[in-house]
Structure 1
Amino acid sequence: MGENIVDSWNIQKYHRGTYMEIEDEIAIEFALTVVIQGEEYATMICSPSALEELVIGFLASEALIRSYEDIQYIQLDSESGFAYVELFTDLPERSYGRTKRFIGSCCGKSREFYFDQDVKTAKTIMKKHVLSVQQVFTLMDTFQQHSEDFKRTGGVHQAALANRNELLYKAVDIGRHNALDKVYGYLLKNQISRREKQIVFSGRISSEVLVKVSKIGIGTLLSPSAPTDLALRLAEDLNITTVGFIRQNRLNVYTGQSYIQEEPPLIDIR
């Protein structure tokens, strides 16, 4: 990515009965205000990396765009912390507040969403693919081996877009949703097919994370951490395979069990 998201800070560290003065590495926190059609739409607290991908993914998550071609231009002013966006269509009226609880229905099943944008953009995954257990372990091992910023600071989240055998793009951010939006933005900007792709994620599988993955339109979510019950109910509803606690040759398949097999079949289950 090329951008620096880590700063240094002089601290006193206590270890085994001894104080020492050292220089520690701290994750940078950055405020980015998104201005759309001249209107300040939102301010995101994020890491100052992959900001264009973040803005694109955010616009898609907010149901303001469907594809990268819906954007007329994006101008980033990282010095002042503003992103200026012009769309080819006007901003829709926001009839619901961003914190209003909203109950929606889709594909004949009731779902409980927190924001009206989720109802507009959450997708039921119609086509899925099978991964072998070994492919899951390999992807997670690669993901964790490339966790330099987390190892340096302990203060960031990671999300990656992967095919069956390798990571295609990895995003880092202090915000877990921002990391996923960066992946979403990268996918849209580069017109990458969602077919046979998965999201590898560093954090807990919450309902918010699960909905974000469904918005991206990818049907498999891999994590070294735990899920919540609402996330799993949504995963079943949205037809997303969730695999958690991927650690040291162990894993739990919570939903979509038929899509994680000891050995991949010759023909995928569709």
Structure 2
Amino acid sequence: MNRDMTYNQNILKYENNQFVETTDFYVTEFPLTIMINGEEFATIICSPKNFKELVLGFLASEGVIFSGKDLKQITIDDSKGFAHVELTHPIDPRTKQYTQRVLSSCCGKSRAFYFNNDVQTSKVSQSKVTINADQILSMMERLHSESKVFKQTGGLHNAAISDGSEFYEHRSDIGRHNALDKLYGYCIQNNVSIRDKVLIFSGRISSEILIKASKIGVGIILSKSAPTNLAIELANDLNITAVGFIRDGSFNVYSHAERIIQN
């Protein structure tokens, strides 16, 4: 059972040169500890929804699992904040660097391949998908229109995965990585092909987000915000099309523009 994504309380607000009492909404922050084969692996600070997808996506992006076949079962105990994972195999010792590490929801400092695990799990995109300008603008508009909790609180990152036409899945979380992991987990859980899909993201395209996109396996990432220089360097190296500043009918294409075609 998932907990509420938001809380509300009475607050004192200052505006128009005076204090007024009003009600404000704020997002829920929830610690979820992942136990693998009975051992503590990591604690993720997240929004309390779509826990199973989050765990699946996180474990896949960190190279702990490669498909749903690596899992015996996942049991979520949200009353105590635990996800109990049973694998069909022991954990690779090379992944145990994450054991008992708290993964914060805060943005942190961007990095390129600063962790060995990123080198091992990031992939050069093999995607052949192409999209046009109208699809880019409409996908970003849909992400904005469906971000209801963000509009209420201003405290979440939003992400979606789409094929630009019929398929579309949207997830929100206080952690930008978590939102992407939930989408990855959804695709694993439902056997959805990823190579022909596009990631749509509300935040900045940092090197960390670009690495996450490469781990998922998509060829295109769209954002309403800016990229960083390291993200663009990685996008060029990993054959990923990065599109930013999607707003007011315009956007910038920063890498591998061959996937963006004329309307």
The root-mean-square deviation of aligned C-alpha atoms, in Å, is: 1.9
The answer for the alignment partner of 2:163 in structure 1 is: 163
Measured against aligned partners, the alpha-carbon deviations of 1:161-212 in whole angstroms (never above 9, x if no partner) come to 1112255211110000000100010010100012421000010000000000
The answer for the alignment partner of 2:206 in structure 1 is: 206
Contact kept? 1:12, 1:19, Cα under 8 Å: yes
Measured against aligned partners, the alpha-carbon deviations of 1:56-78 in whole angstroms (never above 9, x if no partner) come to 00110110100012110000000
Shift of 1:11: 0.9
- Cα distance in 1 for partners of 2:56, 2:165 equals 26
Please say if 1:9 is aligned against 2:48: no
| SS of residue paired to 2:149 | helix
- Cα distance in 2 for partners of 1:17, 1:171 equals 38
- Cα distance in 2 for partners of 1:234, 1:54 equals 24
The answer for the alignment partner of 1:69 in structure 2 is: 69
- Cα distance in 2 for partners of 1:246, 1:166 equals 21
Measured against aligned partners, the alpha-carbon deviations of 1:91-150 in whole angstroms (never above 9, x if no partner) come to 11137845xxxxxxxxxxxx9512222122111012322111011001111110111011
- Cα distance in 2 for partners of 1:151, 1:237 equals 35
- Cα distance in 2 for partners of 1:72, 1:216 equals 22
Paired residue type of 1:140 = M
The answer for the alignment partner of 1:266 in structure 2 is: none
- Cα distance in 2 for partners of 1:222, 1:149 equals 21
- Cα distance in 2 for partners of 1:27, 1:112 equals 30
**TM-score, normalised to structure 2's length?**
0.91
- Cα distance in 2 for partners of 1:23, 1:166 equals 38
Shift of 1:6: 0.7
Please say if 1:144 is aligned against 2:144: yes
The answer for the alignment partner of 2:215 in structure 1 is: 215
- Cα distance in 2 for partners of 1:83, 1:261 equals 43
| SS of residue paired to 1:120 | helix
Consecutive unaligned residues in structure 1, runs of 5 or more? 99-110, 264-270
| SS of residue paired to 1:151 | helix
- Cα distance in 2 for partners of 1:196, 1:61 equals 18
Paired residue type of 1:213 = A
Number of aligned positions between the proteins: 252
- Which residues of 2 match residues 2-151 of structure 1 at below 5 A? 4-94=4-94, 97=97, 112-151=112-151
- Cα distance in 1 for partners of 2:25, 2:165 equals 32
Contact kept? 2:63, 2:95, Cα under 8 Å: no
Structure 2 CA distance for partners of 1:140 and 1:124, relative to 1, 3 Å = same
Contact kept? 1:160, 1:167, Cα under 8 Å: no
- Cα distance in 2 for partners of 1:15, 1:3 equals 33
Instruction: Give runs of ≥4 in structure 1 deviating > 2 Å.
Output: 1-4, 94-98
Shift of 1:247: 0.1
Give identity over the alignment, percent: 47
- Cα distance in 2 for partners of 1:255, 1:24 equals 41
| SS of residue paired to 2:93 | coil
Shift of 1:22: 1.0
Paired residue type of 1:65 = I
Contact kept? 2:112, 2:207, Cα under 8 Å: no
**TM-score, normalised to structure 1's length?**
0.89
